Structure 1
Amino acid sequence: MGHLLRSVDFERVLGTPTRARSAHFAVHYLASAPSQPAAPRRKAEADDLSTGSSTAEPSLVDGSELAGLWVGTVVPKRHARRAVTRTLLKRQIHRAVRDQLQSNPDAGLPRGLWVVRLRAGFDRKLFASASSDALRLAAAAELDTVMAHAARRARG
C-alpha cells in the first residue's frame, strides 16, 4: 500500500463521486495509478559525465507498485483543530485500509487510488481529550464500516 503525495492525484480522485459516506468520513475511489512526476531537464549529456548513463528504472522500496493500491488522507484543520487529533485520525484511516486488505484479500479493496476525507469534526463535548481512547475507538468503528461499504461499491 502506497501513500498519495501529489496534489494532482488528490484532485483527480476527489473529482469522482463518493463511494461511501458516514457521519464524519467520505471515501473516494479511482481505478487508476498515480501520476508520474515530470522528467527533470538534463543539463549535460550522459556521455559528458564521468559516471556515464544509467538505464535502470528506479523501483519503489515499499512494494507499492506491486500492490497497486495507493491511499491518501484529507483531515482539514477546520474539522480537527489539534495536530494530535489529525494524526490520530490519519493513523486510524491507514489502519482501516490495512484491515480491509488483510480481512479478505480477494474481495477486499480493488486496486487503484483511494482518498478518505474527514467531512465533519467529532464533537469536542463528547471527546474532550484530543487523543483519547474513546475518540480512537469511535473513529475506528466508523472507518471500518465506511471502508467495507466503499469496497463493496467499488467492486460492484
Structure 2
Amino acid sequence: MIGRILRSADFERVLGTPSRARSAHFAAHHVAAPPSLPGRRLSTAQAELSTVAAPVVHIAVDDSPGTVKEPVPPQGCWLGMVVPKRHARRAVTRSLLKRQIRAAFASIEAEAGKALPPGLWVVRLRAPFDRQQFPSAASEALRRVVHAELAQLVHKLTRPPRPPANPATP
C-alpha cells in the first residue's frame, strides 16, 4: 500500500530535487527517504497542566540528539500530489486529476514484477490542459487523456535504469 505525504517539509524536500520523469503535463519527483517525523507541539492550551516533576529518562549516549546517525533506508512508498489552481481552475478537475494519479500509482502494486523504488514521490501538474479541447471539467475525454499520460509516466518510472554509455576505446 502506498502512503500519503502529509507534511509540507516533505513536499519541499522532494520538490527541491530535479524531476525523475516528465510528460507533457506532469512531472514526478523522488527522494529515497522516509517521511519526516512529526514535530513537537508546544501549546499552553492543554486541557491538563501537570505540576508533578517529569520522570527521569536516561538516554543512551548513542541515541542522544547530538550524535550523527546513518540515514535509515525507506521501507515503503509515500505519494504526494501537487495540482495547482492556476493549472486546473475547477475543483472538479483537480479532484479528477488527483484520483487519476492515485489510481496510476496503485496500479503499479497490482502489476506483477513492477515496483517503484521506496521513498517519497510527488507528482506535480506542470501545465494546464487546454480548456478549448476539454470544456467539461469531468469529461470522459479528459479522463482518457489523463489516464494515458499517467500510464506513460508510470512506465518511465518503473522501467530499469539504462546502463551508462561506454565511451568507445580507440
What TM-score do the two structures reach when normalised by structure 1?
0.80
1:29 partner letter: H
Does the CA-based 8 Å contact 2:108-2:115 persist in structure 1?
yes
Q: Percentage identity across aligned positions?
A: 54
Residue 96 (structure 1) aligns with:
104
Secondary structure at the residue paired with 1:18?
Answer: coil
Give 5+ residue unaligned stretches, structure 2.
44-48, 55-73, 164-170
Alignment map for 1:1-156 (pairs within 5 Å): 1-41=2-42, 44=50, 68-104=76-112, 106-152=113-159
Contact 2:28 2:121 (8 Å CA) reproduced: yes
Amino acid at match of 1:141: A
Larger radius of gyration: 2
Cα distance per residue 1:51-100 (max 9 Å; x no partner): xxxxxxxxxxxxxxx96110000000110000000000000000000011
**Greater alpha carbon shift after TM alignment, 35-44 vs 66-75:** 35-44
* Structure 1 unaligned spans of 5+: 49-65
- Please give the TM-score of this superposition, normalised by the length of structure 2: 0.73
Q: CA RMSD in A?
A: 2.4
Amino acid at match of 1:79: H
**Cα distance 1:146–1:45, how it changes in 2: closer, same or farther (>3 A)?**
farther
Amino acid across the alignment from 1:89:
L
Q: Which has the higher helix share?
A: 1
